Amino acid sequence: MAKRLGAQTLMMGQPVGVAAWASIAGKKEKQGPLGSLFDRVFEDTMCGQQTWEQAEVHMQKCAVLSAANKLKLPLEALQLLFAGDLVNQCTASSYASRGTELPYAGLYGACSTMAEGLAMAACMVDGGFVDRACAAASSHFCTAERQYRFPLDYGGQRTSTAQWTATAAGACILTREPAEVVITQACFGRVVDLGVTDVNNMGAAMAPAAYDTISHVLEDTKTAPTDYDAIVTGDLGVIGSNLLLSLFDRDGIDLSEVHQDCGKLLYGPKQDTHAGGSGCGCSAAVLCASLLEKVKTGEYTRILFGGTGALMSPTSVQQGESIPGICHAVVLEHRGA
């Protein structure tokens, strides 16, 4: 029987299988260190569509379809879809879901969306409500830039603390059947806001939320960082990652041995992304291209995957508000055959 451990962590009654996953990426992501691992790459920024927004819709749809194809299942067999993105009113997900015949629950968690969706989908499967559920997320550099920052044509200069919104998508299918990769725990995070107002330094805004959630999971499950092969955040980038390590350091905990960050994994040092990658698609694609594969093969026996989101909007920032951060997490484990 499922239960709540400690203050915040949700323990699955039975491990929930991650039966299939798929990752989609753009040209720049293909040029990065994970370039050869994506299921599909669109070299064309438009993905053959008429607008960047439609391109993102297309990428998210491809991720879900590609994951379903791996199980040779029609889309409606996925039973329930949790999805989200950064576009105003989450239209990338809503339009991607259109025509799928799949019950769809829209999420908003900014860059934490993939983890939020996995947590939700795992609970729905473990609770017995559905046999299968899908979690998906996407982002697109061009849809994000024009919505959050400047028209691309301006060629505006980016600060050294800025992160690069990934053109990428990922999807996972969860199931009650046994699988080599399972979710054993999930944790919905709390909003943490320490007053950061610089939208070009979202890593700093999100690091305290990552610290809050990871600390809770460790405490609730009575585990130490060394009990995990990796504790992966997505996406704090270079600056947020350093802050996270400092926060744990104050507690006398060395996270550096096991910590990784999707924003640091997606791009290489010569790709001029400054502090690293970001966007809902960044952690979704890194999870589906690399992390889940390593759990599947047993290279990793247990990892903590924590998606981090900066929950501001251009309007809230213009109005002088600081940036609330959040981190949702799931524990992924390898199960031998």
For residue 144, the Cα-to-chain-centroid distance in whole angstroms is: 16
Q: Which residues pair with 175 in a beta bridge?
A: 17, 132
127 is an interface residue for its own copies by CB under 8 A:
yes
Q: CA–CA separation, 296 vs 253, rounded Å?
A: 28
Q: CA–CA separation, 130 vs 18, rounded Å?
A: 14
Contacting its own copies (CB under 8 A), which of 46, 65, 77, 131?
131
**280 in Cβ contact with 113 (< 8 Å):** yes
Whether the upstream peptide bond of residue 235 has omega within 30° of 0, thus cis, is: yes
Contacting its own copies (CB under 8 A), which of 110, 142, 181, 285?
110
Contacting its own copies (CB under 8 A), which of 30, 77, 103, 245?
103
Q: Three-state SS for 287?
A: helix
Contacting its own copies (CB under 8 A), which of 14, 89, 159, 197?
89
Amino acid identity at 196: V
101 is an interface residue for its own copies by CB under 8 A:
yes
Contacting its own copies (CB under 8 A), which of 35, 41, 77, 108?
108
Query: Which of the residues 254 through 313 are near its own copies (CB under 8 A)?
Result: 311-313
Nearer to its own copies, 78 or 168 (CB): 78
119 is an interface residue for its own copies by CB under 8 A:
yes
331 is an interface residue for its own copies by CB under 8 A:
no
Nearer to its own copies, 69 or 94 (CB): 94
111 is an interface residue for its own copies by CB under 8 A:
no
* 76 conformational bin, left if phi > 0, alpha if psi -120 to 50, beta if neither: alpha
Sign of the C-alpha dihedral, residues 290, 242, 269, 54? positive
Contacting its own copies (CB under 8 A), which of 29, 39, 126, 333?
126
Which residues make Cβ contacts (< 8 Å) with residue 273, sequence separation at least 6?
Answer: 163, 164, 267
Sign of the C-alpha dihedral, residues 46, 148, 120, 232? positive
Q: CA–CA separation, 79 vs 189, rounded Å?
A: 26
Judged by CB under 8 A, the stretch of 64-72, 127-135, 231-239, 288-296 that binds its own copies is 127-135
91 is an interface residue for its own copies by CB under 8 A:
yes
Contacting its own copies (CB under 8 A), which of 36, 43, 48, 50?
50
* Chain residues that interact with its own copies, rule: CB under 8 A: 1-4, 8, 10, 13, 50-51, 53-54, 79-80, 84, 86-91, 93-95, 97-110, 116, 119-120, 123-124, 126-131, 147, 187-191, 193, 311-316, 319, 321, 324, 326, 328
